[in-house]
Structures are given as structure tokens and as C-alpha cells.
Amino acid sequence: MAITARQANEFEQEKYDMPFSEEELKTIKEIEDWIDEKIIHAEDCSLVRVNLQMTTFHQQPKQRQEKMKKELYQRYENNGWKLDVDLDDGLDGPNRSGSDYLILKAK
């Protein structure tokens, strides 16, 4: 018998709800440290732009990527940062698109 859509959704939710593994926590911490270095070395520490690719956790399964990203963002929001995402508008053409950025602003 084939799995039902409801069972598949429940399975996905279980994966999402699982606590972070040590490896996932280590990965989040490494990216947090990288962003902290960008903040420390920024010309204006109250407004920092970091490449959005660094916060997507591509090596993780899709349902865990979102949870890890939420955890990372929450750490900065809890410490006085407002987060925005700046997506490239694509007006430069398909071969010259710009980067997408996570913008951290001091509250």
C-alpha cells in the first residue's frame, strides 16, 4: 500500500521537529562566527550586509535547512539586530545578476 499524503506530511513534520544534532549546532555556530567576523570588520557595524548564500545551509535536508536558518536568525534578533533580505532584482540580465544579501541593522 502506498503512503498517504497525510502520512508523508506527518513524517516531514517529525523531521522538522527533531532537536538539532551536534553537527547541525556546530554548522550553525560556524556560520554565526563567520557573520560575527563580518560585523566586527565592517566599516559601519550598525548596518552589515552578508551574502545570503551563507545562511541557506544547502548541505542539509530541506526541512532542516529552514529550521537551522530560523535558529540562526533568531540568535541575531535576540541580540538586538533587525534582519532584512535584499534580493537582486535581476535587471542586469541573466549573465550579470547580483548577489542576494542578508542585511543586519542594529536596533
In a domain, 3, yes or no: no
Rounded to an integer, the average pLDDT of 62-74 is: 90
pTM of full prediction above 0.95: no
In a domain, 10, yes or no: no
Angstrom CA distances, 49 to 18, 41, 98, stand at 31, 12, 13
Nearest Cα to 53, choosing from 34, 40, 36, 37?
34
In a domain, 4, yes or no: no
In a domain, 6, yes or no: no
Q: Which domain holds residue 80?
A: 21-106
Other C-beta atoms closer than 10 Å to the C-beta of 24 total 17
Q: What pLDDT digit, counting tens, does each position of 4-43 carry?
A: 989 888 888 887 788 999 999 999 999 999 999 999 999 8
Q: Which amino acid is at 55?
A: T
In a domain, 14, yes or no: no
In a domain, 81, yes or no: yes
